[in-house]
Amino acid sequence: MKDTLGTLLGFILGASLLVFGIIFPDRYSNYYVYQITTYDELITKMEEVGRPVVEIRQAKAELKQFKDSLVGSISKFLDIKSFGIVVGGAFAALLIAFPVSKAVSTIKFIALAFARRRLQEDFLEVYEIILRLLAKRNAGEIITDADIEEIQNDNLREWVQDFIAVDVVSEEMITEIIQSEIEMYNYRAYEEIDVLRFLGAATPAFGMVGTVVGLILMLGAASGENTSISDVMGSMSVALITTLYGVLAAQLILIPIASKRFQLKESNVKLLEMIQEGILYLKKRELVDVAAQDLIIYLPPKLRMQVEEERRAAMASGDLGL
């Protein structure tokens, strides 16, 4: 029911934005066009009523000052109609294509791309914790609740507690459970990536919709009587800026973030696979040196070199304690 309402809302929102793009006055959509139009009307009126030349020149000077100012330069690219058509239209399509929960979570997906990630440190932390727990387990010591609480990685902490501290699950069952967790993580991550890629394709499309709307409005303004250059400028700004918004949103934000999210997913999958292998080593009470040689391949090259140098230094000094 919720998805049906979301689809209906998407249709209504999309149609409303197209109507908004057509009927909203061009003059008020773009601040630059609004200022130019206002000054042009003011100067024309001053000339018609015979205002002093000094006042007319002052108004023209203010107009030129606005055109040359930073505010004037930036305001050329700010257009309400273009923003509404591109952003609102893409979100309306998203409501139709995906469940409401996924559409609403889009902002969260984008925010995650800017969150600080410690993946390299996570790999090293998992590596060191597994070897430390393995050394303790091989020495016949019990993995305590305090040891488990010190583990920062949620998956590693949970699986050590469920599969190692409570040693009743077989290796085959551990592998099956963890593989299922990895598959579910993959599925959820691909959902987020699909949403971002969909928006990356939708925003340029709605940019073209805005361009068509702007061109139609421009033709209508140009064919009318008493048409001023500002009337044509307002429609032209919609036609061009919507394309700009659509392309920038797709190529500068959505598609790069989707790519970054995919890379993050791949790294997390590798981390989960590393944890899975480490859990199985803990289950089998594998030799620490064997586990260290196998798990080190998961570390990024820079960290791998650092760990190998530290181990060589420890071997040279005769200190191999973990």
**pLDDT tens-digit profile of 110-169?**
776 666 556 778 898 999 999 999 999 888 888 888 889 989 889 999 999 988 887 778
CATH entry 1.10.287 includes domain 115-322:
yes
Integer angstrom CA distances of residue 260 from 49, 193, 255, 263, 289 = 62, 9, 9, 5, 35
Contact 10, 93 (CB under 8 A): yes
From the CB of residue 152, how many other CB atoms can be counted at a distance below 10 Å?
Answer: 13
pLDDT of 230 reads 60
Query: What span, in angstroms and rounded, lies between the C-alpha atoms of 312 and 164?
Result: 30
Read off the pLDDT band of 105 (50, 70, 90).
confident
pLDDT of 93 reads 84
What's the pTM value of the predicted model, to 2 decimals?
0.79
pLDDT of 174 reads 92
pLDDT of 78 reads 87
pLDDT of 227 reads 59
Please compute the mean of the pLDDT values over residues 85-107 and round it to a whole number.
81
Query: Which two structure tokens, joined as six digits, stand for 22?
Result: 């057509």
Read off the pLDDT band of 226 (50, 70, 90).
low
Q: For 78, list phi and psi in degrees, rounded to 5.
A: -110, 115
CA angle 281, 286, 288 (to 5 degrees): 100
Amino acid at 168: V
Per-residue pLDDT for 3 more than 70?
no
Buried b (16+ CB within 10 A) or exposed e, 32-62: bbbbbbebeebbeebeeeeeeeeebeebeee
Per-residue pLDDT for 233 more than 90?
no
Integer angstrom CA distances of residue 85 from 7, 76, 167, 231, 237 = 18, 17, 59, 20, 13
pLDDT of 273 reads 94
Judged by phi (left if over 0) then psi (alpha if -120 to 50, else beta), residue 117 lies in beta
Structural domain boundaries in the chain: 115-322
Mean pLDDT of the chain: 84
pLDDT digits (tens, 9 = 90+) for 17-61: 777 777 787 778 888 888 888 888 888 888 888 888 888 899 889
